Amino acid sequence: MLRTHTCGQLRKSDVGSPVTLCGWVESKRDHGGAVFIDLRDRYGLTQVVIGPPEAGEAMIDAAGHVPNESVVLIRGQVADRLEGKTNAKLPTGDIEVRTEHFEVLSASKTPPFTPGQPVLPGEDLRLKYRYLDLRRKEMQAALIRRSEIIKCMRDYFAEEDFIDVETPILGRSTPEGARDYLVPSRVHPGDFYALPQSPQLYKQILMVAGFDRYVQVAKCFRDEDLRADRQPEFTQLDIEMSFVDSDDIIGLIDGLVAKTAKQVLGKDITLPLPRMTYEEAMRRFGSDAPDLRFGLEIVDVTSVAAKTEFRVFRGTADAGNFVRGIRVPGAATLYSRRQIDELTGYVQQDFGAKGLAWFRVEDDQTLWSPIAKNFTPEHLAEIRDLMGGEPGDLLMFLADSWEVTCKGLSGLRKRLAGELKLYSPDELNCSWVTEFPMFERDEESGRYVAMHHPFTAPLAEDLPHLKESPEKCRAQAYDLVINGSEAGGGTIRIHDSETQSQVFELLGMDEETAQDRFGFLLDALRFGAPPHGGIALGVDRWVMLFAGLDNIREVIAFPKTQKAADLMTEAPGEVDAAQLNELQLRTVSVKT
């Protein structure tokens, strides 16, 4: 090893010891005949002194001219810092290293930004020079936390007797759900592999093969539009088990959540984690991934709206739609008319709502609003009582379809909770949402699509609905929610070929197509398939949530931009004609 210690290791007990340190020049100060350098590695900072009597003029001059971010090696003795010069903010703040040998291992050009600068540059510049960005202590802390979480996951499932199996990266394209990333085959001209969106089918095959407890930290790929918490390539912890039901999977992951929270964050999590059905989540919170760190529950007042003379409310109720609202305790004086107008614009532009109705609960328990004149005192009192309104509260309502009221009020409650600081950023709230619908209607095609995936088993009591009323079928599905974000999703799988074929047919897939795309699975299910189920946990999102961050790119070493580009390597890029010829491909221009 070139070094004897790291830059975060030395303490007062090391005074008098000879040491060799290597690291990056964080900063330097020339104090008239001596140069002080803060030497950095991922473990910390150590102050090194290049000055007499240990260093001659040539060494002092070299140290004074070394650029910041250069990599240097120093050899010397650990010494006490001078009285009054200690730094209590640093673990190494009681000592310094008096340098006897100074060597520049790699000089740095002037960087476009430095890891220690107080104001960060734009994200694009950080991604272009990611190797500089990764020197920042915040980035290093995030990646260290990522490593800790993955290790914790691996250890947990090893203790539970799971077998780690690697599944193929090059597989068959099965165009269901998001778009595949396709890889042309040179040895099979005109044919393509697909990068896996999930190891779903392989892990089900492993259950048929008798590997009753499978786990893998898997790379997955989806060619879809990106957002702050999505990447085209991502990592998931993939799990599958045989001879289990939903409660078994949920209980297993409860244990993992508790272990990870305790080991990584030092937090105790009460088990079992709370559960609610999809229907309850949508009714109370308007979201299938509700943030339970705060209240602001949704209340349905359609029954009262149907009796009022206020045309917006009455017309909505008469059309079979809904009037639903949230109560914001003590917020009546916190939001001006202008701010409420901004919230109105927010729900209109982001969620397609027609408007936002609101009332203030006055000291005498009456409701005041510009629209209050359209209601009788009795109807206003009914609304107040349904909402649980107290003096000083702000009541907000949307009158629209079920979907719009869900999306709009869910977005509104999240925004208000953030603005009013209704939760601690350090809080960790984990829960389950269960019994999702098996199918939903695709707006464009009008046909059924699987809400999770087409291999999900229905609840046993809903199996009779599969032929006649598939929209009534609830799935044996369960999502883990952390702080209002989906952190994992799983299902109990269909384990007989007849039911699986029936689901394919419901999804508009004829027998020939189903056999072509999924024949190997249907065949396997005919050779003795055990009841099985599993879950996939988004590792990137877990790390983001456990680190208290809101951008998933901050917990991935080399992420893509929102346009799926790597600014550092400039991927994706063109390939030369010879490579295309080998693959028997050519590019064509497409008019847009």
- Using CA atoms, how far residue 420 sits from 366, 413, 509, 549, in Å, is 24, 10, 49, 19
Residues 418 and 478 sit within 8 Å (Cβ to Cβ): no
245 annotated as belonging to a binding site for a ligand = no
108's CB contacts (< 8 A; 6+ apart) are 25, 67, 68, 69, 70, 71
DSSP 460-515: GGGTTHHHH-GGGPBBSEEEEEETTEEEEEEEEBP-SHHHHHHHHHHTT--HHHHH
540 annotated as belonging to a binding site for a ligand = yes
130 annotated as belonging to a binding site for a ligand = no
Residue for token digits 């008469």? 318
Residues 21 and 97 sit within 8 Å (Cβ to Cβ): yes
Cα 495–496–501 angle (5° rounding)? 115
Residues 256 and 547 sit within 8 Å (Cβ to Cβ): no
In whole angstroms, give the CA distance from residue 309 to residue 292: 35
DSSP 126-161: HHHTHHHHTTSHHHHHHHHHHHHHHHHHHHHHHHTT
Nearest of 267, 286, 288 to residue 276 by alpha carbon:
288
239's CB contacts (< 8 A; 6+ apart) are 157, 162, 214, 215, 249, 252, 490, 534, 535, 536, 537
222 annotated as belonging to a binding site for a ligand = yes
223 annotated as belonging to a binding site for a ligand = yes
486 annotated as belonging to a binding site for a ligand = yes
Beta partners for 27?
38
Cβ atoms < 10 Å from Cβ of 233: 16
231 annotated as belonging to a binding site for a ligand = yes
In whole angstroms, give the CA distance from residue 26 to residue 47: 10
Strand 44-50 to 95-106 pairing: parallel
Strand 35-41 to 182-184 pairing: unpaired
393 annotated as belonging to a binding site for a ligand = no
Q: Which residues are annotated as a binding site for L-aspartate?
A: 176, 222, 452, 493
Q: Which residues are annotated as a binding site?
A: 176, 222-224, 231, 452, 486, 493, 538-541
Q: Which residues are annotated as a binding site for ATP?
A: 222-224, 231, 486, 538-541
